[in-house]
Structure 1
Amino acid sequence: MSDVAQPGDTYGWMISYVVPESLDLLQGPTAGAVELPTRLDWTTNNRYDLGNRDEAIGLYNRVISEASTQADLTEFLNGDVLLALWPQLHLPRRCTALWVEAFPELAAGS
């Protein structure tokens, strides 16, 4: 994948997204409420109930888009939950491409 922006690309193309080395490393919560730190979610509504599918999707969108370290991913994401939610996530095009390139099984679930 080229690091050069193409016509139609947005600012999202130049963001340095973090991708884990393995989905097995994502051992975050699978249930309950999760409150994201300000570095990941600077809104006043930074608490997500993983029992609510829409809120879980919101959390996964936010963490994957905003994470700047592997620790952010491993603390808040779970590999099994990610696989289940992946088809419903709305991520920047380049972010999606990086994750699918690293984990082709994500594309299979789409």
Structure 2
Amino acid sequence: MPGSGADLELYREKFRRRLPDSLDELRGPTEGIVRPPATVVWSGLRAFDLGDERLRVSLYRTVLAEGVRGDLPALLNREILLRLWPTLRTLTSDTIRGVWETEFPELRALADVPPDRPPARRDTDVA
């Protein structure tokens, strides 16, 4: 992570440039299996079942951190993002959380909502 104030501002700007103009642009899938491009997920798990809460959170966390402007509307869904935000905001970096909450008051309004308790790990989950 960047150390100086100027480096930190450049780091924030990297994430600001990726943001959609509105959360309404986020019209990604709400069900099924999502396979993000290799530019978003280049190793490890490559397919995410939106019916599985853990995988849905993992996908959204990864897209927030690694997705570029075009990936966000294709992979994220406004309603799911709003529902997951209390949890996601605890799993993302301060920079990502700050950029999203500064730009979108509807996310900032969820800052005091307690995160969901993570679903129990199933025996079929892969480490």
Same fold (TM over 0.5): yes
Where do 1:1-110 residues align within 5 Å?
5-6=4-5, 14=11, 16-17=14-15, 18-68=18-68, 70-89=69-88, 90-110=91-111
Structure 1 residues 40-97: Cα deviation after superposition (integer angstroms, max 9, x where no partner): 00113111011111110100000111112x2100100000100001111111111110
Number of aligned positions between the proteins: 102
Which structure has the greater CA radius of gyration?
2
Q: Distance in 1 between matches of 2:66 and 2:32?
A: 21
| Moved beyond 4 Å, runs of 4+ | none
Calculate the TM-score normalised by the size of structure 2. 0.73
Q: TM-score, normalised by structure 1?
A: 0.84
**SS in structure 1 at match of 2:39:** coil
The one-letter amino acid paired with 2:55 is: E
Structure 2 residue runs of 5 or longer lacking an equivalent are 112-127
> Gaps spanning 5+ residues in structure 1: where?
none
Cα separation, 2, equivalents of 1:24 and 1:76? 13
The answer to whether the 8 A contact 1:28-1:76 is kept is yes
